Amino acid sequence: MCVRPFDIDSIYLIIITVFIFAIVTWNILDNTFRLQNQIGHCIEEFSSSDHGLQFQKGIRWFLRLLAIAVALWVIIDVGIRRPANLISLAGIAFYVLLFFIFSIDRSKIKWHTVFWGLMLQMIIAIFIIKTKEGFTLFYWIGERVTDFLRHSDVGSKFVFGDAYTAHPFVFIVMPMIVFFSSVMSILYYWGVMQSVVRVFGRFLAFTMDTTPAESISAASNIFIGMTEAPLIVKPFITEMTLSELHAVMTGGFATIAGSLLGLYISYGVKAQHIISASVMSAPAALAMSKLVYPETEVSKGNSKDYNKLDIGHQKNTIDAASNGASQSIKLIANICVNLIAFLSILSFTNAALTWFGERVNIEKLTFEKICSYLLYPLAFLMGAAKDDCLQVAELLGLKTFLNEMIAYQKLSQFISNRKAFENYTSYFNSSDSWTYISNDVYLNHTHETLLGGFMSERSEIISTYALCGFANIGSIGIMIGGLTILAPQRRNDLAGMVVRAMIAGNVACFLTACISGLMIEYS
């Protein structure tokens, strides 16, 4: 019996309830009857049978028809109604061509994998951005995640007192990471995340024709970070081919850790775009990895690999929650020391560049300004508004050469400035109400200066997608260190590919931004 009127939240509640019930029931039956191994064996037998091959053939034809429908939609909705958005399509073509040129073996490229990596991105983007149901669903998920993370304030207030809001980054944002890490550990202990990762992994492997290990790793990167995801495929790392290892690293660079959601949401970035960016970048990472580093060996993976997922051996739920909270200590320390170090380095670099610029009559020469000009073409190809390309390029430079946290922090400044400007113009809307001074905007009536100016909401969304990944120079050492612990004998292989994987991960994020730019209404 429904106490409240039946609405959209009621539908979502039913879906979540059914999902949780199915997961719990599955885990009970699996622990009792070992259903996972039995079903995996049945799936393997069915897949190799005549009926299974016919079924797979039918599914592939359906996917091909879906691809044709997407192509027609792009021609009609974008090419005719919003031709300016085709710049983003040119960006996609540019990255594919560039990676084809620099591929280690162009003759071995499996174009089916590349095509379906891009097509899955496109389908997900259409569902999220262009359909009312998809947008509503991800908006609802984003709002619920935001509300969920706010519960960490209770713990912060108890530990730090009523004055915890005086230092929001340390006493509000960091506890969000502790809270989320603890909950994720519980979900892994219950087997929920393994089930979700297994489904995503099978889906990616089927559509993109990738191996189980690299598909599982890509799927797990949607939810956890680049050092935690390889733990799931730990049993396979020592025997992975070079191409599979490259795909594992690329997937880690192309996505963010779920535990960092609270950090970026606190910057004012919309949660639904962060979530959808991480989902969309998983197939893109596989596609770009297999384009620049195609498979040249014979993989030892098989369908039984899906039944070997593991993340830890906690004794009970309380132990899992405590272990997750303890694991977040290292992440929080890493975030804090990196922000202190990189912001300090950036400040020193800008001071040195400004001093040098003054000697040669160049005003306000900074690292951000150099990046804005060097990476301007990339921002333009993503489909950012022409007036915003310098600012978007600045964010890309901060993300690639420093880290995504600093870039998102800068993006939050642009978001805050835009909201302040819109609030200001709702009262003072004459052309002489504000003045542009270099990159800053001076509000004449309130005597406020919006440092760095602002961007259109379209450019903010494109930037959100482009920045959503760990691909930066500083992460190279973290990636090598994390994987070397799991497979010391593969250190030379990892070191030889990690820079290429970092670039591929970055481009995967840029492709996600291009596809979002293709979908968003032009403004």
**Directed axis angle between helix 271-292 and helix 132-149, to 10°?**
110
Q: What is the mean pLDDT of residues 422-451?
A: 85
Percent of the chain past pLDDT 90, that is, above it, reads 22
pLDDT for 36: 60
Least confident of 238-242, 261-265, 302-306, 499-503: 302-306
**Is 262 or 454 the better-scoring residue by pLDDT?**
454
- Domain edges within the chain: 8-331+481-519, 337-462
pLDDT at 315 over 60: yes
- Which tokens belong to 499? 């820079």
pLDDT tens digit string along 65-86?
877 887 787 777 777 777 788 8
pLDDT for 462: 93
Burial class (CB in 10 A: 0-12, 13-18, 19+), 393: buried
pLDDT for 304: 59
Three-state SS letters, 221-284:
CCCCCCCCHHHHCHHHHCCCCHHHHHHHHHHHHHCCCHHHHHHHHHCCCCHHHHHHHHHHHHHH
**Is 223 or 100 the better-scoring residue by pLDDT?**
100
pLDDT for 327: 79
pLDDT tens digit string along 338-374?
778 888 888 899 899 999 988 888 877 888 888 888 9
**pLDDT category of residue 520 using cuts at 50, 70 and 90:** confident
All residues at 6 or more sequence positions from 395 whose CB lies less than 8 Å from its CB, including other chains: 407, 410, 411, 463, 466, 467
> Would you say the pTM of this structure is higher than 0.75?
yes
pLDDT for 502: 93
- DSSP-assigned states of every residue in 117-144: HHHHHHHHHIIIII-HHHHHHHHHHHHH
Three-state SS letters, 140-193:
HHHHHHHHHHCCHHHHHHHHHCHHHHHCHHHHHHHHHHHHHHHHHHHHHHHCHH
Rounded to whole angstroms, the Cα distance separating 67 from 75 reads 12
**pLDDT category of residue 320 using cuts at 50, 70 and 90:** confident
Least confident of 123-127, 303-307, 518-522: 303-307
pLDDT for 312: 58
Helix then strand count (H, E) for the chain reads 24, 3
All residues at 6 or more sequence positions from 24 whose CB lies less than 8 Å from its CB, including other chains: 190
